[in-house]
């Protein structure tokens, strides 16, 4: 009798493990489902729109500038399934217009909205004593409240299709570092918002997925072109608006040293965004995607940001503070008063 029971248990365990693995790799059938992506002018959103179009999804590429270079390139290189949508995530009227546009398309085609990918975002850099309240508000309006607003607007359509919401946060939503508080609090907020939404949506069969890119800033639009110029202009604005006592304690050279490294961001970023795009594709297409994807970047053997983020789950806070302090000291970014 016992051999039969043991054999039965073994068969059940093997079947469960096989079914569990299969459920993590099975993909949904694609039949023109709609996917809305924010921030498609450049970077992750731009390349994700192209990949999903190739897979025959009906892509709604939200662009900050509908008539800009990025939007024009998408229209030129993609099929007629892709639609460019004017979408500044800080403007309620543009979000509502985007929903009206997408609802009209789906009435005509009969395919529902399968996924919303909240990808649009902007960066900011500087010590808390230098960063202005306007900077905190501006970045939060895009990275956090834009995500919340877009999600809430399209959630009824996602519930109807039992689809998914995919939010792009950052490794910096799991790891606190000097001089990223303006950006970091929006990414920590995005993590919490996503976790809360995932729990609330379980009863509707809606999946909520977080994609956390590591060190990819130099290969995306965040630290290039107009965004890099904006970050450097903000350095002058921070200095001009700083309290005299703060200027005396830190010194102008200290502030300049923080921004000098931004020009070299591309040297430590990979030459491709494909690992992040692959994570997005899994989030959109797998029947049971992982709740979060931490994606390593960088050009070395390891992505230091992701490495420290993983350590952060296990080490006591004083240990992490010591390690991060030593890491940033080794970069030569503590020239206070010089």
Distances (CA, A) of 248 to 133, 255, 337: 21, 12, 7
Helix axes 69-77, 43-54, angle to 10 degrees: 10
Count of helix runs (H) and strand runs (E) in the chain: 13, 7
Are residues 57 and 81 in contact, defined by beta-carbon separation less than 8 angstroms? yes
Handedness of CA 167, 47, 212, 176 (dihedral sign): negative
Instruction: Point out the catalytic residue in the list 47, 183, 293, 305.
Output: 183
For this structure, is 183 an active site residue? yes
User: By CB neighbour count within 10 A (0-12 exposed, 13-18 middle, 19+ buried), where does 297 fall?
Assistant: buried
**CA-only gyration radius of the chain, Å:** 22
Closest CA to 36 of 80, 73, 81, 85: 85
SS3 293: strand
How many whole angstroms separate alpha carbon 271 and alpha carbon 269?
Answer: 7
CB 40 within 8 A of CB 77: no
How many CB atoms within 10 Å of residue 242?
A: 20
Largest CA-CA distance found in the chain, in angstroms, rounded: 85
> Cα(103)–Cα(111) distance, rounded to whole angstroms?
10
Show which residues are catalytic: 183
């Amino acid at each position: 009798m016992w051999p039969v029971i043991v054999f039965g248990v073994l068969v059940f365990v093997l079947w469960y493990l096989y079914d569990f693995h299969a459920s993590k790799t099975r993909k949904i059938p694609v039949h023109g489902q709609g996917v809305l992506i924010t921030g498609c002018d450049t970077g992750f959103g731009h390349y994700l729109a192209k990949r999903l179009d190739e897979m025959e999804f009906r892509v709604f590429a939200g662009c900050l500038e509908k008539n800009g270079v990025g939007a024009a390139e998408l229209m030129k290189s993609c099929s007629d399934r892709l639609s460019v949508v004017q979408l500044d995530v800080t403007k309620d009227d543009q979000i509502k217009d985007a929903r009206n546009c997408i609802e009209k398309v789906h009435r005509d085609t009969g395919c529902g909205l399968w996924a919303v990918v909240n990808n649009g975002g902007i960066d900011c850099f500087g010590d808390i004593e230098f960063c202005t309240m306007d900077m905190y508000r501006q970045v939060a309006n895009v990275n956090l409240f834009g995500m919340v607003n877009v999600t809430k607007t399209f959630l009824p359509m996602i519930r109807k299709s039992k689809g998914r919401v995919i939010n792009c946060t950052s490794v910096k939503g799991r790891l606190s570092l000097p001089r990223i508080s303006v950006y970091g609090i929006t990414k920590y907020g995005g993590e919490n918002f996503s976790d809360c939404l995932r729990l609330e949506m379980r009863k509707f069969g809606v999946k909520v997925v977080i994609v956390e890119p590591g060190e990819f800033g130099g290969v995306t639009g965040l630290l290039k072109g107009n965004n890099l110029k904006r970050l450097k202009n903000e350095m002058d604005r921070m200095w001009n608006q700083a309290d005299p006592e703060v200027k005396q304690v830190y010194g102008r050279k200290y502030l300049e040293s923080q921004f000098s490294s931004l020009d070299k961001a591309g040297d430590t970023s990979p030459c491709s965004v494909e690992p992040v795009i692959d994570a997005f594709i899994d989030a959109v297409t797998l029947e049971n995607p992982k709740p979060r994807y931490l994606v390593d970047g960088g050009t070395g053997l390891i992505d230091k940001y992701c490495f420290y983020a993983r350590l952060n789950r296990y080490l006591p806070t004083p240990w992490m503070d010591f390690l991060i302090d030593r890491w940033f000291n080794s970069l030569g970014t503590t020239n206070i008063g010089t």
